[in-house]
C-alpha cells in the first residue's frame, strides 16, 4: 500500500537509527513508476528526529568521507557493489516463484538451494545487498547504485506477484518445440486428474525429460495414495540411475527396474516403461536398459489411486523434479521396442504408436497453469506448488511459507528444518525499506508494507504463549532486528497494525530480566539477542513504554565491559559465557563480526536518548578495531571479504571468505563498509549543539544551521584533528569528544588561541561561540601506549596506542611473553619500549616481533592478547638485578611504581620509587638490600619525557 506523504518524513528520520540514516521524501520525485528516475539523495533536506531523541544523526549524504582508512575500505566494497551480478542474488527468489532464473547461479554458502541446512536462510543476503546499495547511493550519489536497486526491486515485485497467484507455465525449448520447465526451488509439479490409469493390466509410460539437478529420488512421475501403494518413475535412484517401481506394500515390496547410467543434466532424454504379462522393461533413449520378468503387480492390481503427479514424490523428503517436461504419454498396452524407438525420433502423433490413449500431454502451452490432454479423455492437468500458496498476498521470501508455519509448532531448535525465517524476513524488509528511503521507489515501500501486513496476519492469530515459545528457540526463532525495521516502517505508513506487529515480537522473560538489571546472558546466543534491544529502543520511541528503554540500557552494560574483548567484539562460538570471563573464553571462534555491527547500532541508538560518552567510546573502539579489521584490504569481484569470527587465539589467521562468503557477517560487513560516516557527527534535536564523536577526515553539511564543518586529519596516524567552519555565521556549542583513554594533554584551540577549561577523559569538551566562516578549531589528542587487562586474568593483556589495538604478528601458537616497563617515560607512556618501523606508521617492533594495527585487513598470524612478563626491575633501560616481586593478586612492584605516572620530573619519579619500595620492604615483599638497589637504579637511569 502507498504511504501518505505527510508521514514519510517521520519515517525517514527514525530509520537513521537502523544504520541507514533516513532521507525525507521529495514530493516531486517521479520514482516508483517503472523506468522512473531515482531521486538524488544530495538534493534532500535532513529529516526531523523522533520526539524522544535529544540528539539526531546526520544522513549519509550529509557527511562526505575524505581520504583515509575508511575511504580506502569503502572503495573496495563499492567496487564489489558495482560489479556483482545481482541476478545471482535474485535466483532463489525467482525460483521460489517459478520464474525464470535467467541462467543465474546462486552464490552458494548460506545463499542458495544447496546451502548449509538445506538453504533455509536463503534470501537474507539479498536484503543485506539492498541495504549496501542504498547506503552506497546515499553516500556517493552514483546512479549505478540506484539502477541496481531498481533492478532488484523490480524483480522482487514480479516475484511477489507470481507468488500471489497459482503457478503459471514457464516455457523453454523442448525436444520438438515448446516445453514446460519447473525450475529448481519452485516446488512445482503437474497434477493429473484421477483415473489416469483406469483398470488397465498393461501399460506404457513415456516422457521426454531434461533434468537440471542430480538430486536422488526426484520423480518424473508418482501415481499413488501414500508411501504404501504407488508406482513411480524416478530420474535418479540412490545410485544415480533411473528407476521404475510399483508396490502395494511400501518400499520393501517394490517390484522394479533400474537403469545402468545416469541421465545427463541439461540434456533431453527419453524415458519409457512397458509392463505386461509379468514383464517390465525400462528404455532410455529408445534402448532397453533393464528387464524384469517377475513383475506380478499391474496398475489394475493397485486399484484406483488418489494422486497422479509429474515431478512430485509421495515421500515428502524426496526433492521435487527440477527440469523440463516435453511429451508425456500413457498407453493401455505395452508398446513394442520398435514403437519405443520411433518415439525417440519423432512426436508421438507422428509415430505408429500415436498419442497415448490414457493420457497425452504435449506441454506446448505458453500461458496459464493448465495442460491439455490430447488422448481424447479430457484429463486436463494443473500446475501446482507442493506447499499450496501464501496465506496472504504480502508474502515475499526465497522459500515457501512452510518455514514460518513449521516454526509455530516447534518446541526445540532444528535449523536443518527451520532456520530463522523471521531473521531472513527482517533482512529483506530492511533492504526494501532502505531502498525506498534512498531512491523513493514506491514499489519497495509497497513490498515492505505488504510483508508486515502478511506477518501480522500470521502472528496476530497465535496465542501469546506460542509467540513466547517461538522467540525463545535458539536459531530457529531468531528474528534479528525486525522490530526496529517494523517500527521504522510504521513511522511512514501510520498503520496501527504495523506497530501492533512490532510488539508481537516481545520476548518477555528477556525484557523483564534486563529491565530488572538481572543478568540473563550466560549461555545465550549473542547475535540472536543484541538486535532485539535496538528494536526495544525504537519501541520506546513509538510507545513511550519505559521498560523497553531501561532493558536496553541495562543490557548494554551487561556486555560492555563484562563480555567485551579488547577489539570491541563479543561472544565465543556465537554464545555468551559468564560475566567477566574474558581470558577463559578466548578461542578460534570469538568475536562474531555481526555482534560488533549490532552493538554499534545499539550504542548509537542509546546515545540518541542519553549522551553518555561511554557509548561513543565503545563505538570508536569497535569501529576502529574489529569493524575495520574485519574487512580484508584487497579487491574481489565475487566476495565481500569479511570475517565471520575473529579468533583471538595466539597466531590466528583471519578467514575473510568463511562458508563461501555469504554468512550473516558478510552481509553486515557489506553494510558496515558503506556507512562508516554515520556517527561522526550528531546534532542536538534543537540545533543548539554539534557533537563531534569521531576524528576522521570528513565534511559535514549542516543545512539546518547553514554551515559546513570540514575535518582534516590523518587520525589515528595523526594525534588530533583540524575542523574548519564554512558557510554563514551561526551560534552553537561544538562538543568535542574527549576519549576515555586521553588521560593527559587533550587541548583545543580556536583560530590559534587556547580554549579555557579542563578536558575530562570520557566526556565532551564544549566550545560555545558565534561561529564565522573560516573559524579553525584544532584538537590535540595525545596518544599513549597502554595495556588493557583481561578481567579474569590480569597477566593476559592487549596493547593499545590511543584508540588503536596493536597486535603482534607472529606464527607462534603460544602467547607471546612481553615486558613493557623497561623504557617507560616519565609520562608513564610505554611507547619508548617499542621501536618504530621506518615508513610504516603505527608499526613497531618489540623483541623481534612486529606490532601493527588490528584494523589492517591482512592474513598475517596475529596475537591480539599477550602474556605480560616483567621478571626483573628495569627502570629507564637499566636493570637493577632485582626480581620484580608480586602481591597475591598479581600486582607487581613495577605496576605500583608506574601506576602513579605521569611524573613531573625525574625527582618525582625517584621519590615515588623510594616510598613504594619502603612500603614493600615493610610488608615483607622485598628485601632491604634489594630495595636499595631499585632506588639506586631509579636515580642513575635516564628517562624519556
pLDDT of residue 602 exceeding 80, the answer is yes
For residue 887, the Cα-to-chain-centroid distance in whole angstroms is: 46
Cα–Cα distance for residue pair 685/677, rounded to 1 Å: 19
What CA–CA distance (Å, rounded) separates 903 from 715? 27
In the chain, the largest separation of any two C-alpha atoms, in whole Å, equals 116
Cα→Cα distances 433→22, 442, 443, 488, Å: 10, 10, 10, 8
pLDDT at res. 3: 33
Classify burial at 450, counting beta carbons within 10 Å of its beta carbon; exposed 0-12, middle 13-18, buried 19 or more: buried
* Model pTM score: 0.94
Contact 427, 127 (CB under 8 A): yes
Per-residue model confidence (pLDDT) at position 945: 81
Cα atoms in the Cβ-side hemisphere of radius 13 Å centred on 317: 4
* Strands 681-684 vs 55-57: parallel, antiparallel or unpaired: antiparallel
Pick the range with the lowest mean pLDDT from 357-366, 450-459, 562-571, 887-896: 887-896
Domains of the chain, with CATH numbers?
A: 1-48+85-164+400-505 (no CATH), 188-385 (2.60.120.200), 680-780 (2.60.40), 792-940 (no CATH)
**3-state class of 212 per DSSP?**
coil
**220 touches 209 (CB < 8 A):** yes
Query: Is-contact 234 217, C-beta < 8 A?
Result: yes
Report phi then psi at 886, rounded to 5: -135, 150
Kindly report the three-state secondary structure assignment for every residue of 229-252. Answer: CEEEEECCCCCCCCEEEEECCCHH
d(CA 552, CA 532): 9
The DSSP letter of residue 831 is G
Q: How do residues 760-804 score in pLDDT, each as one tens digit?
A: 999 999 999 999 999 999 999 999 999 999 999 999 999 999 999
758 burial (CB, 10 Å; 0-12 / 13-18 / 19+) is exposed
Note the pLDDT of residue 29.
33
**DSSP structural state of residue 267:** S
Cell numbers describing residue 35? 523506468
| E strand or H helix at 796 | strand 793-801
pLDDT for position 728: 84
726-769 pLDDT, tens digit per residue, is: 998 899 999 999 999 999 899 999 999 999 999 999 999 999 99
492 confidence band (pLDDT: 50, 70, 90)? confident
Burial class (CB in 10 A: 0-12, 13-18, 19+), 634: exposed
| 102-110 average pLDDT score | 93
CA dist., res. 121 & res. 412, Å (int):
18
In Å, what is the CA distance from 583 to each residue of 21, 226, 557, 568, 816? Answer: 37, 56, 19, 14, 15
Cα separations (Å) of 636 from 75, 324, 632?
A: 12, 35, 10
Beta carbons of 872 and 924 less than 8 angstroms apart? no
CB–CB of 245/237 below 8 Å? Answer: no
pLDDT in tens, 619-662: 999 999 999 999 999 999 999 999 999 999 999 999 999 988 89
- Residue 222 Cα to chain centre, angstroms: 40
Which cell is 563 given? Answer: 563480555
DSSP letters of 571-598?
-BTTB--STT-SGGG-STTBS-HHHHHH
The band of 716, judged by pLDDT with boundaries at 50, 70 and 90, is very high
* Region 122-144 average pLDDT: 97
Is 873 in a helix, a strand, or coil? strand
State yes or no: pLDDT of 388 exceeds 70: yes
How many helices (H) and strands (E) would you count in the chain?
24, 39
Query: pLDDT exceeding 90 applies to what percent of the chain?
Result: 92
**Average pLDDT of the chain, as a whole number:** 94
- Of 439, 433, 431, which Cα lies nearest the Cα of 43? 439
* pLDDT score of 45 more than 90: no
Beta-carbon contacts of 794 under 8 Å, excluding residues fewer than 6 positions away, are 868, 889, 890, 891
- Report the alpha-carbon distance of residue 452 to residue 499 in Å, rounded: 10
Closest CA to 102 of 90, 116, 117: 90
CB 780 within 8 A of CB 755: no
Beta-strand (E) ranges in 823-926? Answer: 835-836, 844-846, 849-853, 862-863, 866-868, 872-875, 878-883
> Cα dist. 132→77, 461, 680, 857 in Å?
9, 34, 19, 20
Does residue 35 have a pLDDT over 80?
no
SS3 letters for 613-674?
Answer: HHHHHHHHHHHHHHHHHCECCCCCCCCCCECCCCCCCCCECCCCCHHHHCCHHHHHHHHHCC
CA–CA distances in Å: residue 499 to residues 285, 486, 538: 60, 7, 11
From the list 565, 574, 577, 534, the residue with the least C-alpha distance to 552 is 534
pLDDT at 19 over 90: no
Task: Give one word for 591, left, alpha or beta, with left for phi > 0 and alpha for psi -120 to 50.
Answer: left
**Angle CA(19)–CA(24)–CA(27) in degrees, nearest 5?**
150
pLDDT at 25 over 70: no
pLDDT at 477: 97
- Average pLDDT rounded to a whole number, residues 398-402: 97
pLDDT band for position 36 (cuts 50, 70, 90): low
HSE, side-chain direction, 13 A CA sphere, residue 436: 26
The pLDDT of residue 20 is above 50 = no
How, if at all, do strands 866-868 and 817-818 pair? Answer: parallel
Averaged pLDDT for residues 67-82: 97
Given a cut of 60, whether residue 17 has pLDDT beyond it is: no
Q: What angle do CA 26, 544, 614 make, to 5 degrees?
A: 85
Would the pLDDT of 334 be above 50? yes
Cα–Cα distance for residue pair 188/182, rounded to 1 Å = 6
Inform me whether the pLDDT recorded for 268 exceeds 70. Answer: yes
DSSP structural state of residue 269: E
All 3 cell numbers of residue 125?
543476503
Q: What is the pLDDT, as a whole number, of residue 48?
A: 56
Q: What pLDDT does residue 287 have?
A: 98
Phi/psi for 199 (5° steps) reads -115, 35
Which residues of 48-170 form beta strands (DSSP E)?
A: 55-57, 63-65
Alpha helices in 333-460 (DSSP H): 337-343, 402-407, 421-439, 442-459
Cis omega before residue 465 (within 30°)? no
Amino acid at each position: 500500500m502507498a504511504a501518505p506523504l505527510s508521514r514519510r518524513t517521520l519515517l525517514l528520520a527514525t530509520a537513521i537509527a537502523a544504520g541507514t540514516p533516513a532521507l525525507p521524501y521529495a514530493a516531486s520525485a517521479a520514482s516508483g513508476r517503472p523506468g522512473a528516475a531515482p531521486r538524488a539523495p544530495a538534493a534532500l533536506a535532513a529529516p526531523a528526529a523522533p520526539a524522544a531523541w535529544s540528539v539526531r544523526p546526520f544522513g549519509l549524504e550529509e557527511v562526505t568521507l575524505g581520504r583515509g582508512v575508511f575511504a580506502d575500505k569503502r572503495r573496495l566494497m563499492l567496487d564489489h557493489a558495482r560489479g556483482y551480478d545481482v541476478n545471482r542474488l535474485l535466483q532463489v527468489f525467482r525460483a521460489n516463484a517459478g520464474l525464470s532464473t535467467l541462467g543465474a547461479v546462486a552464490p552458494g554458502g548460506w545463499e542458495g538451494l544447496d546451502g548449509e541446512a538445506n538453504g533455509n536462510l536463503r534470501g537474507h543476503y539479498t536484503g543485506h545487498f539492498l541495504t549496501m546499495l542504498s547506503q552506497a547511493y546515499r553516500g556517493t550519489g552514483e546512479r549505478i547504485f540506484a539502477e541496481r536497486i531498481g533492478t532488484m526491486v523490480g524483480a522482487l515485485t514480479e516475484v511477489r506477484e507470481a507468488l500471489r497467484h497459482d503457478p503459471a507455465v514457464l516455457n523453454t525449448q523442448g525436444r520438438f518445440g515448446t516445453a514446460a520447465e519447473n525450475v529448481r526451488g519452485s516446488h512445482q509439479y503437474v497434477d493429473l486428474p484421477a483415473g489416469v490409469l483406469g483398470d488397465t493390466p498393461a501399460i506404457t509410460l513415456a516422457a521426454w525429460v531434461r533434468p537440471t539437478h542430480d538430486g536422488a529420488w526426484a520423480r518424473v512421475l508418482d501415481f499413488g495414495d501414500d508411501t504404501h501403494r504407488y508406482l513411480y518413475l524416478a530420474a535418479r535412484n540412490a545410485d544415480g540411475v533411473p528407476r521404475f517401481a510399483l508396490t502395494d506394500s511400501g518400499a520393501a515390496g517394490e517390484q522394479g527396474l533400474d537403469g545402468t547410467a545416469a541421465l545427463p543434466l541439461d540434456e533431453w532424454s527419453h524415458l519409457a516403461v512397458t509392463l505386461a504379462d509379468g514383464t517390465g522393461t525400462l528404455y532410455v533413449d529408445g534402448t532397453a536398459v533393464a528387464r524384469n520378468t517377475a513383475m506380478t503387480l499391474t496398475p489394475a492390481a493397485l486399484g484406483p489411486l488418489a494422486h497422479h503427479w509429474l515431478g512430485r514424490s509421495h515421500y515428502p523428503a524426496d526433492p521435487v523434479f527440477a527440469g523440463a517436461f516435453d511429451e508425456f504419454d500413457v498407453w493401455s498396452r505395452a508398446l513394442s521396442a520398435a514403437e519405443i524407438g520411433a518415439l525417440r525420433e519423432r512426436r508421438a502423433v507422428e509415430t505408429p504408436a500415436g498419442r497415448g490413449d490414457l493420457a497425452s500431454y504435449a506441454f506446448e502451452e505458453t500461458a496459464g497453469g493448465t495442460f491439455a490432454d490430447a488422448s481424447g479423455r479430457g484429463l486436463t492437468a494443473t500446475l501446482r506448488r507442493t506447499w499450496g500458496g501464501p496465506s496472504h498476498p504480502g508474502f515475499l521470501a526465497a522459500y515457501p511459507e512452510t518455514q514460518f508455519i513449521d516454526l509455530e509448532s516447534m518446541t526445540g531448535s532444528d535449523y536443518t528444518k527451520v532456520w530463522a525465517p523471521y531473521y531472513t524476513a527482517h533482512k529483506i524488509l530492511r533492504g526494501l525499506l532502505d531502498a525506498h528511503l534512498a531512491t523513493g521507489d514506491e514499489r519497495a515501500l509497497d513490498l515492505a508494507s505488504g510483508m508486515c501486513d502478511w506477518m501480522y496476519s500470521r502472528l496476530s492469530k497465535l496465542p501469546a504463549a506460542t509467540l513466547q515459545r517461538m522467540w525463545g528457540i535458539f536459531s530457529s526463532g531468531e528474528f534479528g532486528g525486525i522490530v526496529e525495521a517494523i517500527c521504522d516502517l510504521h513511522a511512514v505508513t501510520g498503520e496501527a497494525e504495523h506497530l501492533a506487529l512490532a510488539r508481537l515480537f516481545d520476548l518477555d522473560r528477556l525484557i523483564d530480566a534486563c529491565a530488572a538489571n538481572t543478568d540473563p546472558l550466560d549461555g545465550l546466543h549473542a547475535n540472536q539477542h543484541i538486535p532485539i534491544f535496538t528494536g526495544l529502543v525504537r519501541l520506546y520511541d513509538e510507545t513511550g513504554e519505559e521498560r523497553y528503554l531501561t532493558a536496553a540500557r541495562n543490557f548494554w552494560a551487561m556486555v560492555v565491559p563484562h563480555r567485551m574483548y579488547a577489539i570491541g567484539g563479543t561472544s565465543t562460538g556465537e554464545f555468551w559465557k559468564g560475566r567477566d570471563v574474558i581470558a577463559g573464553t578466548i578461542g578460534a571462534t570469538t568475536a562474531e563480526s555481526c555482534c560488533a555491527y549490532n552493538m554499534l547500532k545499539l550504542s548509537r541508538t542509546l546515545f540518541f536518548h542519553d549522551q553518555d560518552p561511554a557509548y561513543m567510546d565503545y563505538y570508536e573502539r569497535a569501529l576502529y578495531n574489529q569493524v575495520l579489521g574485519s574487512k580484508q584490504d584487497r579487491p574481489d569481484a565475487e566476495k565481500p571479504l569479511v570475517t565471520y569470527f575473529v579468533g583471538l587465539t595466539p597466531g590466528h589467521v583471519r578467514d575473510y571468505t568463511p562458508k563461501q562468503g555469504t554468512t550473516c557477517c558478510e552481509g553486515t560487513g557489506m553494510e558496515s563498509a558503506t556507512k562508516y560516516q554515520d556517527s561522526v557527527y550528531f546534532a542536538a534535536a534543537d540545533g543548539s549543539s554539534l557533537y563531534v564523536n569521531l576524528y576522521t577526515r570528513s565534511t559535514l553539511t549542516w543545512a539546518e544551521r547553514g554551515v559546513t564543518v570540514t575535518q582534516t586529519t590523518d587520525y589515528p596516524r595523526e594525534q588530533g584533528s583540524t575542523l574548519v567552519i564554512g558557510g554563514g555565521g551561526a551560534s552553537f556549542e561544538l562538543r568535542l569528544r574527549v576519549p576515555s583513554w586521553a588521560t593527559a594533554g587533550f587541548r583545543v584551540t580556536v583560530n590559534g588561541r587556547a580554549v579555557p577549561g579542563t578536558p575530562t577523559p570520557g566526556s565532551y569538551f564544549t566550545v560555545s561561540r558565534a561561529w564565522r566562516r573560516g573559524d579553525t578549531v584544532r584538537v590535540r589528542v595525545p596518544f599513549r601506549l597502554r595495556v588493557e587487562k583481561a578481567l579474569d586474568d590480569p597477566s593476559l593483556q592487549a596493547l593499545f596506542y590511543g584508540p588503536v589495538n596493536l597486535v603482534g604478528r607472529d606464527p607462534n601458537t603460544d602467547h607471546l611473553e612481553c615486558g613493557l616497563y623497561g623504557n617507560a617515560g616519565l609520562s608513564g607512556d610505554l611507547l619508548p619500549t617499542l621501536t618504530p618501523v621506518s615508513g610504516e606508521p603505527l608499526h613497531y617492533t618489540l623483541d623481534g616481533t612486529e606490532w601493527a594495527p588490528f584494523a589492517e585487513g591482512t592474513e598475517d598470524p596475529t596475537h591480539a592478547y599477550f602474556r605480560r612478563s616483567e621478571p626483573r626491575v628495569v627502570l629507564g633501560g637499566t636493570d637493577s638485578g632485582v626480581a620484580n616481586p608480586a602481591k597475591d593478586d598479581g600486582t607487581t612492584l613495577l605496576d605500583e611504581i608506574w601506576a602513579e605516572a605521569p611524573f613531573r620530573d625525574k625527582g618525582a619519579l625517584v621519590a615515588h620509587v623510594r616510598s613504594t619500595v619502603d612500603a614493600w620492604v615493610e610488608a615483607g615483599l622485598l628485601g632491604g638490600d634489594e630495595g636499595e638497589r631499585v632506588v639506586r637504579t631509579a636515580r642513575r637511569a635516564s628517562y624519556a619525557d
